[in-house]
Structure 1
Amino acid sequence: MDSIKNLYNVCEFGVVGDGKTNNTQSIAKLIDVADSNGGGTIYFPAGEYVTGTIEVKSNMTLYLDSGCVILGSDNPSDYPMITRETLKGYNREGHSGLIKAFKCENITVKGRGVIDGRGYNWWHNPKNEHRPRAIQPILCDNVLIDGITIKNSAMWTVHPICCNNVTINGITIKNPSDSPNTDGINPESCSNVHISNCTVDVGDDCVTLKSGTEADDLQKHHPCENIVITNCTMLNGHGGVVIGSEMSGGVKNVVISNCVFSGTDRGIRIKTRRKRGGYIEDVVISNILMDKVLVPFVINGYYQCGGASADDMSLFSREKLGVSESTPVIRDINISNISAKNVIASAGYIYGIPEMPVEGLTLSNYNVKMADTEGEPKDKPIMAFHVPKAKGEGIHCANIKNSVFRDISVKIINGNGFELENAENIFVYGLRAEGCEKVTDIKNSENIQINE
């Protein structure tokens, strides 16, 4: 470390790693010193450092050495309220993140140390969406997060907002499975994001791509785009990799590959609803292994949770409604080489909305084996009103058109192998279904070609 230019050892600037002293002000003063000298590396040696928000500036690295633990302060006043934070797409106040940057460039958080948000000081009030994130760069360019471990985040763990060129590599995230809204990595309205070699074990979605909701003015027309997620392990969250439901600015040009999902409720999860608008398009997903998931792949156009519009029951009508700029669009999704075993609820569940069906889906080399579970169904395949609980069922598709299914193999214990409802121009090549009542069940559909 001694060879690094502009290296600042925090212990030489009044910062105390005793696990008790509140270092918020001392760290802030040190960062101001480094910033006045053009940036540098803020070095945390082994020790336990209690602090509130650390606001990183441009051309600055936080280096957390092995044995270093950053402990989030239990005092809310140590996390200043900010009014330009985007929380689920809305401009509202919220606490600054434990590590925050605003309109900066060339910022890095790396090392072999630990960030412990001590979220148990906040989780008792799960409706409080002002809880601080663990790492929160906003409107930044060139962001690197590498090698660290993050645990017990109070809210979403890594939440870049409107950033460009974000690299997240080799980090581990561990939040308790029952901790509320503790998503792992949530790029929101970001461009050129590369997430690789990470292990994410959380109480909500593991990795989620978002772009605001219901036309927030900060993020209107600002998509989440050019995203790569590869060589990651997702454990025990609500979803392995998720797109939405906050997608009003659009999500496009996404590659997800070479990942393992174990114990996540859903594997690949696309979720939205009427009035959220935006689009999800040009997504390529390949080479994913899954074990003990509820459903390997879902598209849910009737997502029932979150946001002001969730109380408007007309949005969840199964009838065909008018199309407007607030109608969400899902198209051109390519999924291949998926292998899932011990699946609990359904082999797949695709539920578009009738006025804007899912279009251009290609699903190929998709192999699913259900778990042999006893008792009544306990879980819904998707979070939508009027969708019943399921156990060991096949693939269900509704409100879908111009799509291809190729080399599909499902081993189920209930229901039909492959169901289509309100579908148009669907081509199925190589369908193998075992343990089903019927291989296919088709309703209210036209131009369906199936080659078993």
Structure 2
Amino acid sequence: MVNISDFGAKGDGKTNNTAAFSKAIEKCGKGGPLGDASRQKVVVPAGQFLTGPIHLKSNMELHIEKGSIILFSDNFNDYPPVKSRWEGVECYGYSPCLYGENLENVSLTGKGIIDGQGRKWWTEFKRRKQGTKEPVTDRDKEFVKLNEGIDLSNCGGGGIGSFFFRPPLLQFNNCTNVLLDGITVRNSPFWNTHLLYCKNAVVKNMTFQNPEDGCNGDGLDVDSCNGVEISDCNFDVNDDCLVIKSGIGEDGLRVNKPCENLVIKNCNMLHGHGGAVFGSETAGGIRNVAFSNCIFNGTDRGIRIKSRRGRAGTLENLSLDNITMNNPGCPIVMNLYYECGAKAEEIEAFSDRNARPVTETTPCIRNIKITNVTANNAQTAAAVFLGLPERPIENVLFDNVKITMAKNGKAGRPAMAFGMKEMQGEGLVVDNVRNFVQRNTEIKQS
């Protein structure tokens, strides 16, 4: 075990401790497998420790003690380029704040806090969104060169035009045997926590927080992973809470890695665009996912499945059981007309309600089982299912689903879909769905 204080770290909130973290991690020898006492531990004691990016190594545990806050620098130049996946496309972007790549047996534990100090990143993103859409800084121009030849046209709306690739707060990229346990992670420059191409990961007792005025602040993004168990976590974010993804469009098809074999249970979601979310990056496919025993409070949508023409992928064998929702906008959405990030020249094709030829980039939703769900005081609509005429949503089961609509609910758009208008207190809105079975289902007004 090593303590960062032994390498000169100062918890005064001002001293840059990047070198101390790096030296402590380098000092760690090779440890054993996950849970083995021979694993090396780096301890962060109580205090506020300012630092640049932290890059982890295999066979180590970073333990953040109660009373400790890791504060990541908001100096953009502190974050060198790394190649990863950014909004569904493999490309170069800023290094994640806390990063692990190609690692085995790595864990993050404790009762402390990791703070991304994202406000400067959000402010710059908003400024660019309103003003220049071209690369500005030397780092922007470096990203232009590094990403030469990479088709970024399908990336989402998080700053791609100006090459302002904000970093996630935590990212584990192509890692095996990952444990995240007990930490609070907050104020991320971009997505909060990103598991990418990981196998055998456990996430438990975590708290994910991003304030309402942040930008693209998803809680936990599980992206093209196999074998992830998530339990007893709390989410309070400004975008989707827990999101399952697998790459976008042609680049996602090239990588061809599904997100599969996930178990999510005993989690609480507060606010956010959606509680249990699938997509909209779906190209590698999403399958064999079980959500259970979760509570959603005040999310815009509860269960949210989203993709569109061009994003590709099959979403199948998804089960959601024993979910309670309080004050959701729309409890259940399956949307193959997702509108966000579409360019002006694409809208005609993506929004077309007539059948188009099926191609390798036509998405598919099928075999969805929703059981023992109670939604109280829903606002806009009970559920919205928007399949494609050329590829309807297939095999949806509602069993013991009870939805109560608010008497005087707040009007809003239940789905971010092309042509979707505001609704208030509507029931089921269903278009292009095949084999929708309802058992013991009740939708009523309060």
Q: By the TM > 0.5 criterion, same fold? A: yes
Q: Distance in 2 between matches of 1:108 and 1:37?
A: 12
8 Å CA contact 2:379, 2:411 repeated in 1:
no
Matched, 1:98 2:97: yes
Letter in 1 for 2:316: E
Question: Which residue does 1:173 correspond to in 2?
Answer: 208
1:439 aligns with none
**Equivalent residue number for residue 352 of structure 1:** 387
Which position in structure 2 is the counterpart of 1:246?
A: 281
User: What amino acid sits opposite 1:151 in the alignment?
Assistant: R
What is the aligned counterpart of 2:362 among 307, 327, 337?
Answer: 327
- Aligned-residue offset at 1:219: 6.0
Instruction: Give 1:36 shift.
Output: 6.9
Q: Are the structure 2 counterparts of residues 195 and 309 from structure 1 closer, same or farther at C-alpha, using a change threshold of 3 Å? A: farther
TM-score of the two chains, using structure 2 as the length reference = 0.88
Structure 1 length normalisation: TM-score? Answer: 0.86
Per-residue deviation, residues 62-101 of structure 1 (Å, max 9, x unmatched): 000000000010111222211x210122122211111100
Aligned counterpart for 1:392 among listed residues 410, 425, 432: 425
Larger C-alpha radius of gyration, 1 or 2? 1
Q: Distance in 1 between matches of 2:408 and 2:267?
A: 28
Whole-angstrom CA distance in 1 between matches of 2:388 and 2:207: 37
Instruction: Please provide the CA RMSD for this pair.
Output: 1.7
Query: What is the rounded CA distance, in whole Å, between the counterparts of 2:69 and 2:406 in structure 1?
Result: 40
Structure 1 outlier segments of 4+, above 4 Å: 35-39, 307-310
Aligned pairs, number: 404
Alignment-derived partner of residue 3 in structure 1: none
| 1:30-79 CA-partner distances (Å, limit 9, x unpaired) | 21222578861110010100011110000011000000000010111222
Distance 1:94 1:171 in 2: 26
- Per the alignment, in what secondary structure is the counterpart of residue 58 of structure 2? coil
In the other structure, the counterpart of 1:403 is 436
Distance 2:226 2:252 in 1: 18
CA contact (8 A) 1:24 1:78 kept: no
Write the deviation string for residues 257-298 of structure 1: whole angstroms up to 9, x where unpaired: 000000100000000000111110001110000011111111
Structural mapping, 1:142-291, within 5 Å: 142-216=177-251, 220-291=255-326
- Which protein has the bigger helix share? 2
- What one-letter code is carried by the residue in structure 2 that aligns with 1:110? T
Q: Is 2:31–2:59's contact at 8 Å kept on the other side of the alignment? A: no
Residue 15 of structure 1 deviates from its aligned partner by 1.2
The correspondence of residues 414-425 of structure 1 with structure 2, limited to 5 A, is: none
Summarize deviations over 1:189-217 as a string: whole Å, max 9, x none: 01101110000000000000000001216
Higher relative contact order, chain-length normalized (CA < 8 Å, sep 6+): 2
Are the aligned partners of 2:253 and 2:283 in contact in 1 as well (CA < 8 Å)?
no
Q: Determine if contact 2:31/2:60 at 8 Å carries over to the other structure.
A: no
Relative distance call for 1:386 and 1:81 in structure 2 (3 A) is: same
Q: Deviations over 1:355-402 (max 9, x none)?
A: 00000111111111111226xx63111111212110001011110112
Counterparts of 2:31 and 2:200, CA distance in 1 = 24
* Alignment check: 8 A CA contact 1:35 1:58 kept: no
Q: Relative to structure 1, is the Cα distance of residues 307 and 135 closer, same or farther in structure 2, using a 3 angstrom cutoff?
A: farther
Q: Which runs of 5+ in 2 are unaligned?
A: 33-38, 127-157
Distance 2:387 2:84 in 1: 31
CA distance in 1: counterparts of 2:240 and 2:279, whole angstroms? 11
| Alignment partner of 1:119 is 2:118 | yes
Identity among equivalent positions (%) equals 42
SS of 1:160's partner is: strand
Match for residue 81 of structure 1?
Answer: 81
